[in-house]
Structure 1
Amino acid sequence: MESKQTTNTAPAAGAKAPMLRIRDLEVYYGAIHALKGLSLDVNEGEIVTLIGANGAGKSTTLRTISGLLAPKSGSIEFEGTSIAGCGAHDIVRAGLSQVPEGRRIFADMTVLENLELGAFIRSDRDGIARDMDMVFTRFPRLKERLSQQAGTLSGGEQQMLAMGRALMSRPRLLLLDEPSMGLAPLLIKEIFSIIVDINRAGTTILLVEQNANMALSIAHRAYVLETGRITLSGAASTLAASEDVRRAYLGG
């Protein structure tokens, strides 16, 4: 697929700088060159999706942003401050939280304990209580299972718990890694509807998703990642209509 990346190096005069700004990111797993000069922007209030085949580097991108992987070179700025190389807990404190691939809930802990751990950086008890109520409003099944061990939840309920746990840190930018993985079609629709609601309530979202059709249907903008490089970027509706994208990722 021909490269058509259109990431700007600076905002236009008078325009607000991106909430998340990544430039020339190089990441290795040992001798494997996983990300090769990756650059992307996420503006405040957007849903931006990153699509691509398995092994393209999508999860690596999120793990590097979250501080779980250290880049060899390149820059990552969140709200104008460099976070490249910062510890994961410091990045959560800065206002960025990730829902990891595979949920990674604490299976032996209860639903309530998982949610409380999501608020570990906070000490505002009233705010935590309000956000807990917000999570229960968004995911009513979690309230019904507060004292249940998280590992006994269904796959869909575990995804809801992972999202609720991340929201308890009150992130300004939420990273979502494959939220539809292993879920039935009706649950996928429900999860994506909740993602849209979270965004409309004021949380900016960077979404990695194998289900490219669903991702492009809710995103404002999109990037296509191939073997560690961004090859296409633009409005999600434009990419959804692209013949190259349809053939490669949308089954068209």
Structure 2
Amino acid sequence: MLTLDNISTSYGNISALKGISLQVKEGQIVTLIGANGAGKTTTLKTISGLLCPDEGDITFRGKSIKGVAPHKIAAMGIGHVPEGRRVFPRLTLMENLELGAFTRKDKSEIKKDLERVMGLFPQLKGREKQAAGTLSGGEQQMLAMGRALMGRPKLLLLDEPSMGLAPLIVKNIFSIIEEINSQGTTVLLVEQNANVALSTADMGYVMETGKIVMSDTADKLLVDEGVKKAYLGD
């Protein structure tokens, strides 16, 4: 579904990604783990067009998306839930969700997707007119995920969905991620909580200083001694 081939991305003179290659197969949950500054967020921004790679190519469903504008990439079926949620705080919950469907014209199907989002995130139900900035951190994370789902993405990019959330809420968020995946959406997940990420994912990639240093099935990475020592607190 998604292939990154020898991608290098920089911020001015600073090289952030140094020739990374990875694959996300349809139907999978794939996770990128690594320390702060490893290049995980840069990878997602490069996929969604917010950054343009200096070298390499990105293909999504057989077509190159390198250099394509972000709104066009979103319309092609890639949804991005950014680090820190980035909801529009002064807009209502409903307005935020409606903005997620900005590339669509199928009103009856949009209504169905609103119902689906409320089914996935029942905590948001009945609060449609509430300003998004007044929601709790966990509720804002749910809203950001719901907003991305309103675009009907084939591939959902999730950047640090557990950041700043209590353990019980993290557990809830990740069970919803599994539910979204079971409903047919492929997921590429960036997550500092390597334990919960690898416990959820099918496949994992380990990033260090802009390079991918290891990749394997998630269950094998969970028991790898190097990964356990560096990322799992063992």
TM-score class, shorter-chain normalisation, is over 0.9
Q: Which one of the candidate residues 36, 50, 65 is aligned to 2:32?
A: 50
Q: Which one of the candidate residues 71, 87, 90 is aligned to 2:72?
A: 90
Q: CA deviation at 1:86?
A: 0.7
- Partners of 2:9 and 2:165 in 1: CA distance: 30
SS at match of 1:251: coil
- Partners of 1:247 and 1:93 in 2: CA distance: 41
Structure 2 residue runs of 5 or longer lacking an equivalent are: none
Q: CA deviation at 1:142?
A: 1.3
Q: Which one of the candidate residues 157, 161, 186 is aligned to 1:204?
A: 186
- Partners of 1:168 and 1:103 in 2: CA distance: 15
Task: Give 2:109's aligned amino acid.
Answer: G
- Which residue in 1 is equivalent to 2:152? 170
Identity of aligned pairs, percent? 62
- Partners of 1:211 and 1:29 in 2: CA distance: 26
Q: Provide the TM-score with structure 1 as the length reference.
A: 0.92
- Partners of 2:171 and 2:126 in 1: CA distance: 21
Q: Which one of the candidate residues 139, 144, 149 is aligned to 1:157?
A: 139
Q: Which one of the candidate residues 124, 127, 134 is aligned to 2:109?
A: 127
Q: Any residues of structure 2 matched to 1:1-252 within 5 Å, and which?
A: 19-252=1-234
SS at match of 1:105: coil
Q: CA deviation at 1:26?
A: 0.6
Structure 1 residue runs of 5 or longer lacking an equivalent are: 1-18
SS at match of 1:144: coil
SS at match of 1:101: coil
- Partners of 2:202 and 2:105 in 1: CA distance: 34
SS at match of 1:62: helix
- Partners of 1:107 and 1:141 in 2: CA distance: 18
